[in-house]
Structure 1
Amino acid sequence: MSDHSSEPVGPVEAYEPPYYVAVFTAVRTESRRGYSETNARMEDLVKDIPGYLGMDHAQTPGGLGITVGYFRDAEALTEWRSNAEHRGAQRRGRDEWYRSYTLHVAKVERSHGFVRERGPAAG
């Protein structure tokens, strides 16, 4: 997961379906060696995939991490899955960083969002 930043927090926007999501849920080991650098590299690398739409991250206090990647089509997701550098990071994750993980891939058929308008605070 990314380090905290000063950028506003918000979910990836709701896109017009269909599109795909890859939901990666993991529990980490105690090993931290190289994780942050590799994670940052993967976040930079995936942005170069045509059809990549964005990514959401969440971490529970108990240590469960959730990353959701959004992709316009199955081809974009396949390109990301088969990227050689990403495959290497996956191997290292299994060898060092993850106690357990699951990956769920789904086609989004319905999507909507909400953004509160900035205005005077309710009093």
Structure 2
Amino acid sequence: MSGISKTPEPPYYAVIFSSQRTEGDKAYGRMADKMVELASQQNGFLGVESARDEKLGITVSYWDSLEAIKNWKENSAHKVAQTKGKTDWYKNFSLRVCKVERQDFFEM
């Protein structure tokens, strides 16, 4: 995951996942990569951006509809990752779903 996602003209939806990790990897990195790969294959997926430092991680995924977000949430492999997140990987997290109504991009 690198760079800024090239999303279509709004409206579309953003899922903002902010988290603080527990100590140690515990196979987190491998699962995170797998989830991005799997999400990118889902109908309605538009892109993803992610950043993490030692204290906070933020991942924003973009979707064309609320139905696409719901289908991703219910994906069986994603459900396994959600459970592992609660038991092994996160001290805390928040998830916000937003409708994108306007966007601007700058590029040199």
TM-score of the alignment, normalized to the shorter chain, above 0.5: yes
> For the Cα contact (< 8 Å) 1:15–1:112, is it kept in 2?
no
Partner of 2:59: 67
Distance in 2, matches of 1:17 and 1:31, equals 39
| Structure 1 contact 14–111 (Cα < 8 Å) conserved | no
Distance 2:33 2:94 in 1: 20
**Would you say 1:105 and 2:92 are equivalent positions?**
no
Determine whether 1:58 maps to 2:55. no
Q: Which residue of 2 aligns with 1:18?
A: 11
SS at match of 1:113: coil
Runs of 5+ consecutive residues of structure 1 not aligned to the other structure: 3-8, 117-123
What is the CA distance between 1:15 and its match in structure 2?
A: 2.3
| Runs of 4+ more than 3 Å apart | none
Q: Percent of counterpart pairs with the same letter?
A: 37
Aligned twin of 1:79: 71
Indicate conservation of the 8 Å contact 1:28/1:100, yes or no. Answer: yes
Structure 1 residues 28-75: Cα deviation after superposition (integer angstroms, max 9, x where no partner): 000311111111110111011111011001123x42000000001111
| Structure 2: unaligned runs, 5 residues or longer | none
State the distance in 2 between where 1:37 and 1:69 align: 18
The number of residue pairs the alignment matches comes to 108
Q: TM-score, normalised by structure 2?
A: 0.92
TM value normalised by structure 1: 0.82
SS at match of 1:101: strand
Structure with max Cα Rg: 1
Give the RMSD, CA atoms, in angstroms. Answer: 1.3
Distance 1:35 1:58 in 2: 15
